[in-house]
Chain A
Amino acid sequence: MYYIFIEDSLKSVTFVPKFVVSLNMNVAIIKYNAGNIGSVENAVRRLGIEPLVTDSPELIKNADRVIFPGQGEAKSTMEYLKAHKLDELIKSLTQPVLGICIGMQLLCKHSEEQDTDCLGIFDVDVKRFIPQVHEHKVPQMGWNTVEDTKSELFKGFEKPEFVYFIHSFYAPLCKETIATTNYIQPYSSALHKDNFFATQFHPEKSGSVGERIIKNFIDL
């Protein structure tokens, strides 16, 4: 670990850890019809790794780490994955896989979003947020905390940390929950089963906390 030195506007001095990760790591980002994929590519680059953004089964299968990112809608993304035979490919992966946002929801069993059957890695059904009081706006948009973290993905977390969310659907708490967030009710903000990890929030947009999560994933 080494540090770079930044003087900020307050004339105070802060230390920003600059992570050192295994630079020869081969990270594939699955390319499909979801938005926001470039943000994940940029985030991995900021860690000093040049990722491959690809839909090639060969390249995805042979990668050391696979990220399944995205922002979008369940039905059309699931249809795209099927049409391009990426559904079976994703299910067959054995290296560590990180689903992000819609990527996480697609790894679940089913989504209420247009009644969509998903990949079924995680044994949980994705539901729509139902506001209970006026303050509950949907989508949840902004920074909320992840708590009760229990996974190597959250290595180094000593307190509830804020991460960035944008979503209208959520995975309820289940046996695969590895982090909890409270919005309208407590729900799964991260899931883990075997080699599959997933976050509902966007680590690539969650500042230094998010960087740590992506780094932890690559270091698994």
Chain B
Amino acid sequence: MLAKRIIPCLDIKDGQTVKGTNFVNLRQAGDPIELGKAYSEAGADELVYLDITASHEGRKTFTELVGRIAREINIPFTVGGGINELKDVDRLLNAGADKVSINSAALRRPELIDEIVKNFGSQVCVVAIDAKCDDMIHPAGHPDIDGTWTCYMNGGRVPTERNLFEWAQEVNERGAGEILFTSMNHDGVKNGYADCALRKLSDNLTIPVIASGGAGSREHFRDTFINGHSDAALAASVFHFGEIPIPELKKYLISEGVNVRI
């Protein structure tokens, strides 16, 4: 049976990880490759590296880093951040990334999805969607599908006219390989993923959905797989600060009847 995936996300600035300094026993805690290897050893199923630098030099550093990751890491990894056009995708795939994640650029020009799919295949195209529910009844997240979910761009700073479910459907139809959905209401709150919205997405789409934003405990992972029907769960701080070690998380998920790779 296809396993549910656990995906740590690493934010990269000037070639170094931004979070993760509490990660113990690494020779170099800020080194994205050391950290990626440690996660891979611990049982992470994939990795996401997000470039949060804005400068031209930063982009160059990141591309070089992607090449090093590809040489050293033996599990799939996705890269995102600052991908605006096809030549950015080409550059990162050439450097050795398995998938690229696009967000604002797809909202600005949805045809970019078609172009990536046509040139490189669906499997490389992850579309990240940041959305916020404007009239959510419970801040904790339930029930959260009745409100209006609006897509945001530029790192959650700029609202768009797009509705989450309509945009996700379009992304699916344009041929993207996966959707990475971050609920801005849930992100950073550590109160669980937006499982009602995730379930609606997952049940209406034909491509895998990655849950992002809200992981605070191992139960939240179980809930997003069982109740949210998520295919994968992404988290950053709970892994970086060692709050939830991946081997223990996976043991727990198996005991709860979730199929994960061990």
Contact = CB atoms under 8 A, between A and B. Distances in A.
B1 A142 contact: no
Contacts of B98: 36, 39, 205
B228 interface: no
A8 B5 contact: no
B96 interface: yes
Contact of B74 (A35, A36, A73, A211): A211
Given A45-B71, A208-B74, A35 B121 contact: yes
A41 B122 CA distance: 22
B70 to A, nearest CB: 6
Contacts of B1: 144-145, 182
Given A204-B74, A205-B75, A143 B245 contact: no
Interface string A137-166: 111111111000000000000000010111
B206 interface: yes
A147 B96 CA distance: 30
Contacts of A45: 71
A205 B96 CA distance: 12
A14 to B, nearest CB: 6
Contacts of A142: 2-3, 5, 45, 208, 231-232
Contacts of A9: 23-26, 38-39, 42, 242, 245
B120 interface: yes
Interface residues of B, number: 45
Most A CB contacts (10 A, CB to CB) among B121, B232, B247, B262 go to B121
B188 interface: no
A131 B40 CA distance: 31
B207 A137 contact: yes
Given A9-B25, A71-B121, A143 B74 contact: no
A134 B203 contact: yes
A16 interface: yes
Contacts of B208: 137, 141-142
Nearest to A46: B74
A42 B75 CA distance: 12
Nearest to A12: B247
Contacts of B206: 131, 137-138
Contact of B247 (A10, A202, A206): A10
Chain A contact residues, majority secondary structure: mixed
B178 A143 contact: no
Given A73-B121, A143-B2, A205 B70 contact: no
B65 interface: no
Interface string A46-85: 1000000000000000000000000111000000000000
A164 B121 contact: no
Nearest to B242: A9
A144 B2 contact: yes
Given A43-B74, A182-B1, A11 B25 contact: yes
Given A71-B121, A73-B121, A166-B123, A143 B3 contact: yes
Nearest to B37: A6
A38 interface: yes
Contacts of A202: 76
Interface string B104-131: 0000000000000000111110000000
Contacts of A205: 74-76, 98
A206 B242 CA distance: 24
Interface of B: 1-3, 5, 23-26, 37-42, 45, 70-72, 74-76, 93-94, 96, 98, 120-124, 177-178, 203, 205-208, 229, 231-232, 242, 245, 247, 261-262
8 contacts: A8-B38, A9-B42, A35-B120, A39-B96, A137-B207, A143-B5, A144-B3, A205-B98
Given A135-B229, A140-B2, A142-B232, 8 more contacts: A9-B245, A39-B70, A42-B71, A73-B121, A131-B206, A162-B262, A205-B74, A206-B75
